[in-house]
Amino acid sequence: SFSLSTVSQTSTVDADVSVDQQLPRAHTCFFSINLPRYSCDNVMAERLKYAMYNCIEMDADFRLADTE
């Protein structure tokens, strides 16, 4: 099943970037997505759409390409 979780505000990942500017992080092998605590639903929707349409790699794809 699919899992949805939020990212801790104290996380060091993207700590220097505003929460509303952070993108969600997906883990396709675990069917899960981590969402920052966005300020509102509209920001969350914008960030999810941006991530879906602009994703350039999935999981370890970039590492696999280096070994081929």
Is the residue at 27 inside a domain? Answer: yes
pTM comes to 0.60
**32: containing domain:** 19-59
Are the C-beta atoms of 37 and 9 separated by less than 8 Å? Answer: yes
Is the residue at 65 inside a domain? Answer: no
Residue 40 annotated as catalytic:
no
Taking only the tens place, the pLDDT of each residue in 17-67 is 799 999 888 877 778 888 999 999 999 999 999 988 888 766 555 555 444
Is the residue at 8 inside a domain? Answer: no
Is the residue at 45 inside a domain? Answer: yes
Is the residue at 64 inside a domain? Answer: no
Active site residue: 1, 15, 29, 67, which one? Answer: 29
Q: Which DSSP state fits 3?
A: E
Is the residue at 14 inside a domain? Answer: no
Specify the number of domains making up the chain: 1
Residue 30's pLDDT is 78
What is the DSSP code string of 11-67? -STTTTS-GGGPPPEEEGGGTEEEE---SSHHHHHHHHHHHHHH----TTHHHHHHH
CA distances from 61 to 4, 18, 55, 56, 66 (A): 23, 28, 12, 9, 9
